[in-house]
Amino acid sequence: MAFTPQMPERNVQSAPMTGSRTYITTPIYYVNDKPHIGHLYTTTLCDVYARFFRFAGWDVFFLTGTDEHGQKIEKAAQERGITPQALADENAAEFEKLMTNAGFTHDDFIRTTQPRHVKQVQAFVSRLHEAGYIYLGEYEGWYDEGQEEYIPENKAKDSDYKSTTSGKPLIKAKEQNFYFKLSAFQDRMEKLLIDQPDFVRPEARRNEVLGRLREGLQDVPMSRTNFSWGVPMPNDPQHVIYVWIDALMNYATALGLGDHDSEEYKSRSKYWPATYHVVGKEILWFHAVIWPSILMALELPLPRCVYAHSFWIREGQKMSKSLGNFIDLAAINQYLDAYGSDMWRYYMITHGPLGATDANFSASQYHDVYHADLVNTVGNCSSRVTAMINKYFDGEVPTESPQGKRMIIADVDWPALANSAVQDTTQAMEKLDFPGAMLATLGLMRKVDGFINHTEPFKLAKDDTRRDELGAILYQCLEAVRISSLLLWSALPTKMEELWVALGLDIDPRQGELPKLAAWGGLQVGTKIKKVALFPRVDNPVEN
Ligand code: ME8
């Protein structure tokens, strides 16, 4: 057994939020499968967050990519009679194309077969070895082939010796491996989860991890010898590094943390530690326990939060290849064609499995949410206001301060309302509470609707003596719509940009000026605007 080095206490704490620099990651996706809703889902969550905070002026780094080593890839390539690298190149290109077509704004797309990654993984493993965290041993136990995961006896028994992911029987594995001394981190891991309750979110997931931690950590095999498609162990190339260890390190290698001479290190190491690793619940253990332990062993700071969402399911059933009920790209395209790409993003972030329970993907719910939130709220509110300004003021933005002083109508303090929508949306976004963020913004638009119904500008328009009042009402409505559109942009980029054009606004979100732009009064009096119709009604839900 290797010795148990003592780690300095400081490494137990992950870094606090910086408030102005943030690093968010998706899992890196396996290249043996075709992309599907799950991949798009996690990446959409990260994209909305990344866009919002770039626009808010933060220094953001958003990473996604592909996981290309391991037995599964080797097998899939053999079945097709091609090399694993050829299979990886082909499918990684498909993932990358999808990410680009979906308009995702990742700053890098990492592939684990890239030399930059391989080199750093070997450097990290050498460091772990030198620090005494790796030793040679014999593994005899259960193995989930599909997940490429070693399963402890008690967990295997609980699942009736079947994979909890694929349902396939676990296999008995006996092999000589290098082990990572995970057991050395028992106390520090428990302390981390207790001292920093937000280290794993949502709360229910944290409790699961803590429960399993308390059963005791066992050392884990970290190399394999029965196949060769992987990163060779630096000290013994007969072994390849276990795909999960290789994959987890992507979050650090993309920033060059394993190679201080690299360009990546110079320009990107400032982003470490990650603010969020966003993952699906099935891979939480790797991210919440194995990865932090590796980081502690490497004396690197820990991420601030591992966010493990649940699954999209269909008609109450898990989506799986065997059931053939995956929402695949063909199905997704039907939704995109019928409702547009912004609605896809909106549905993902507001009705997805962000919390501890799975979310049912439903065509009828999709249809209803589109009409309630986008057609009847965002669309209706913007078209009502722009139409009235066109009708009553020839499309020229009127003033809210006809006598040089802002008119207060119906006792509504619009600057305060808008300011709290900005604060509430930002705070919710920071917590990855996307439904909360959308509720705060749509709340502002709903107030505009209520204000119109209450003040009845269409009646005032008939009275020439009340033009000042009419102008002030419409200015306030349009200004609230403008501020809402800034807050909605990260979720609905296409339509909000369309709205900005109609409002004569020249906005480049990459300039990071959201806080300045969101201040009340930014709308210029006299600007020529056009009437908008952003979200057309759709007759019937998609059938599939
Ligand atoms: O696990 N609902 O890759 P993977 C929501 N390579 N999200 C889902 C989903 C569903 N039904 N199905 C999949 C791997 N996902 C490893 C990760 S990271 C260092 C290595 C999403 O291609 C979710 O984010 O199987 C999940 O964690 C991920 O896809 C798994 O992708």
For 241-264, letters b (16+ CB in 10 Å) and e give bbbbbbbbbbbbbbbbbbeeebeb
| Amino acid letter, residue 525 | V
Pocket of ligand 1 contains residue 63 by CB under 6 Å = no
Alpha-helical regions (H) of 196-339:
203-214, 243-248, 250-253, 263-268, 284-285, 291-297, 329-339
pLDDT of residue 152: 85
**What distance in angstroms lies between residue 89's CA and the mean position of ligand 1's atoms?**
19
pLDDT of residue 11: 34
Top mutation candidate among 31, 67, 314 for ligand 1, by most atoms within 8 Å of CB: 67
With tokens 């439903």, the residue in question is: 362
Can you give 441-509 as a three-state secondary structure string? Answer: HHHHHHHHHHHHHHHCHHHHCCCHHHHHHHHHHHHHHHHHHHHHHHHHCCCCHHHHHHHHHHCCCCCCH
Pocket of ligand 1 contains residue 43 by CB under 6 Å = no
What the block records as the tokens of 318 is: 């898990």
- Residue among 253, 273, 272 at smallest CA distance from 263: 253
Give the count of beta carbons closer than 10 Å to the beta carbon of residue 350. 18
pLDDT of residue 19: 60
Pocket of ligand 1 contains residue 124 by CB under 6 Å = no
| Amino acid letter, residue 244 | W
Pocket of ligand 1 contains residue 312 by CB under 6 Å = yes
pLDDT of residue 315: 79
Mean model confidence pLDDT for the chain = 94
Question: Taking residues 163-175, what's their average pLDDT?
Answer: 89
What pLDDT band is residue 14 in, cutting at 50, 70 and 90?
Answer: very low
Q: Tell me how far CA of residue 173 lies from CA of 71, 158, 218, 231, in angstroms.
A: 14, 18, 16, 21
- Residue among 348, 294, 276 at smallest CA distance from 26: 276
Q: Please tell me the residue having the least CA distance from ligand 1 atom 9.
A: 38
Q: Which residues contact 82 (CB under 8 A, 6 or more apart)?
A: none
pLDDT of residue 8: 32
**What distance in angstroms lies between residue 481's CA and the mean position of ligand 1's atoms?**
37
| Amino acid letter, residue 264 | E
The 10s digit of each residue's pLDDT in 228-270 is 999 999 999 999 999 999 999 999 999 999 999 999 999 999 9
Q: Please tell me the residue having the least CA distance from ligand 1 atom 21.
A: 38
Q: How many residues does the chain have?
A: 544
Q: Which residues contact 165 (CB under 8 A, 6 or more apart)?
A: 144, 146, 147, 282
- Sheet strands side by side (includes 223-224): 223-224, 236-241, 232-233
Q: Please tell me the residue having the least CA distance from ligand 1 atom 18.
A: 27
Q: Is the dihedral of CA 91, 97, 103, 106 positive or negative?
A: positive
Residue 104 contacts residue 49 (beta carbons within 8 Å) = no
Pocket of ligand 1 contains residue 65 by CB under 6 Å = no
- Sheet strands side by side (includes 149-151): 149-151, 134-144, 171-180, 220-221
- Residue among 282, 237, 228, 222 at smallest CA distance from 75: 228
**What distance in angstroms lies between residue 329's CA and the mean position of ligand 1's atoms?**
15
Q: Which of 144-153, 181-190, 367-376, 488-497 has the lowest mean pLDDT?
A: 144-153
Q: Domains plus CATH for the chain? A: 363-517 (1.10.730.10)
- Residue among 509, 492, 540 at smallest CA distance from 378: 492
For 50, the 3-state DSSP assignment is helix
pTM for the structure as a whole: 0.94
Q: Which residues contact 283 (CB under 8 A, 6 or more apart)?
A: 27, 308
Q: Is 50 exceeded by the pLDDT of residue 12?
A: no
More confident residue, 80 or 5: 80
pLDDT of residue 197: 96
- Residue among 123, 131, 125, 178 at smallest CA distance from 150: 178
Cα separation of 63 and 83, whole Å? Answer: 27
Pocket of ligand 1 contains residue 307 by CB under 6 Å = no
The 10s digit of each residue's pLDDT in 483-494 is 999 999 999 999
Q: Please tell me the residue having the least CA distance from ligand 1 atom 2.
A: 311
Question: Taking residues 471-489, what's their average pLDDT?
Answer: 98
pLDDT of residue 6: 31
| Amino acid letter, residue 379 | G
The 10s digit of each residue's pLDDT in 392-425 is 999 999 999 999 999 999 999 999 999 999 999 9
What pLDDT band is residue 155 in, cutting at 50, 70 and 90?
Answer: confident
Q: Using only the alpha carbons of the chain, give its radius of gyration.
A: 26
Q: Is 80 exceeded by the pLDDT of residue 4?
A: no
Pocket of ligand 1 contains residue 311 by CB under 6 Å = yes
With tokens 């008939």, the residue in question is: 462
Question: Taking residues 448-468, what's their average pLDDT?
Answer: 97
**What distance in angstroms lies between residue 271's CA and the mean position of ligand 1's atoms?**
24
Pocket of ligand 1 contains residue 58 by CB under 6 Å = no
Question: Taking residues 152-176, what's their average pLDDT?
Answer: 90
**What distance in angstroms lies between residue 240's CA and the mean position of ligand 1's atoms?**
23
**What distance in angstroms lies between residue 359's CA and the mean position of ligand 1's atoms?**
15
pLDDT of residue 154: 85
Pocket of ligand 1 contains residue 38 by CB under 6 Å = yes
The 10s digit of each residue's pLDDT in 326-384 is 899 999 999 999 999 999 999 999 999 999 999 999 999 999 999 999 999 999 999 99
Q: Which atom of ligand 1 is nearest to the CA of 281?
A: 27
Residue 311 CB-half CA count within 13 A? 16
Residue 268 contacts residue 254 (beta carbons within 8 Å) = yes
Which is it for strands 312-314 and 359-360: parallel, antiparallel or unpaired?
A: parallel
What the block records as the tokens of 475 is: 């200015």
The 10s digit of each residue's pLDDT in 28-63 is 999 988 899 999 999 999 999 999 999 999 999 999
Pocket of ligand 1 contains residue 67 by CB under 6 Å = yes
Beta bridge partners of 138: 176
pLDDT of residue 181: 98
Number of H helices, E strands in the chain: 22, 16
DSSP state of 311: -
Q: Is 50 exceeded by the pLDDT of residue 145?
A: yes
DSSP state of 379: I
pLDDT of residue 7: 32
Cα separation of 67 and 77, whole Å? Answer: 14
Percentage of the residues of the chain whose pLDDT score is greater than 70: 97
Which is it for strands 220-221 and 171-180: parallel, antiparallel or unpaired?
A: antiparallel
**What distance in angstroms lies between residue 535's CA and the mean position of ligand 1's atoms?**
32
